[in-house]
């Protein structure tokens, strides 16, 4: 489903170059929940962006379900990303002036789906927020906001979820809820790639890797 082969990425700065990825290789198969741990600045988020067809590597190959997204024109790459990948971020990235249901439906702007509203309502109920459908993000707890973001990530029936520190702003109980949903997605045959500092989060993974200085270890 996801394969990175000898992928490198360097950020060119005026003062000095910063290595984000240094020859990383990784294969993640359907049904796997892979966590990547490491200190700040080790390249975890860069790895996720490259895997998610959001950041072109300087060297190496990326394959999503047999297709290299970086060989596609920008519009085709965006369609592949929208139909294949769901993203969950630490900061939620919810639109503050939209209700819960409309925030979930925002994913349909990138990939129109049949009966998107019905699908959104099902997902909101699935993550336990049926009683919050018309609430604004500012009226929700941080754990509830992350569950909204998770429902949005799943609207287009992705085959892979990429999660960047999804429990970084959550208390332990809320973290467990979100991580259980990610684990369920993997158990149903999806791919989960999680980058995190949190040992509790990594404990839900079926395979745990580490990064240091832009290099992926134990892959």
Cα 140 off chain centre by:
21
What local confidence, expressed as pLDDT, does residue 82 receive?
87
**Sign of the four-CA dihedral 201, 203, 208, 214:** positive
Cα 41 off chain centre by:
18
Q: How many domains does the chain have?
A: 1
At 47-95, the pLDDT tens digits run 999 999 999 999 999 998 889 999 999 999 998 898 899 999 888 899 9
Q: Which domain holds residue 156?
A: 2-217
At 172-192, the pLDDT tens digits run 888 888 899 999 999 999 999
Q: What is the CATH number of the domain that holds 191?
A: 3.40.50.300
At 191-205, the pLDDT tens digits run 999 998 888 888 889
């Amino acid at each position: 489903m996801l394969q990175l082969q000898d992928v490198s990425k360097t950020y060119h700065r005026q003062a000095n170059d910063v290595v984000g990825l240094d020859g990383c290789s990784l294969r993640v198969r359907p049904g796997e929940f892979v966590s990547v741990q490491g200190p700040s600045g080790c390249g975890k988020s860069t790895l996720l962006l490259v895997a998610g067809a959001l950041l072109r590597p300087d060297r190496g190959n990326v394959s999503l379900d047999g297709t290299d997204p970086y060989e596609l024109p920008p519009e085709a790459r965006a369609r592949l990303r929208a139909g294949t990948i769901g993203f969950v971020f630490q900061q939620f990235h919810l639109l503050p002036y939209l209700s819960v249901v409309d925030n979930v439906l925002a994913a349909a702007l990138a990939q129109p789906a049949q009966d998107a509203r019905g699908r959104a309502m099902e997902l909101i109920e699935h993550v336990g927020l049926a009683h919050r459908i018309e609430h604004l993000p500012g009226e929700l707890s941080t754990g509830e906001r992350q569950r909204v973001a998770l429902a949005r990530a799943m609207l287009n029936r992705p085959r892979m979820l990429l999660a960047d520190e999804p429990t970084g702003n959550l208390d332990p109980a809320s973290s467990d809820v979100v991580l259980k949903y990610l684990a369920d997605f993997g158990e149903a045959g999806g791919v989960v790639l999680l980058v995190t500092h949190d040992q509790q989060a990594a404990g839900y993974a079926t395979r745990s890797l580490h990064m240091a200085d832009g290099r992926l270890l134990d892959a």
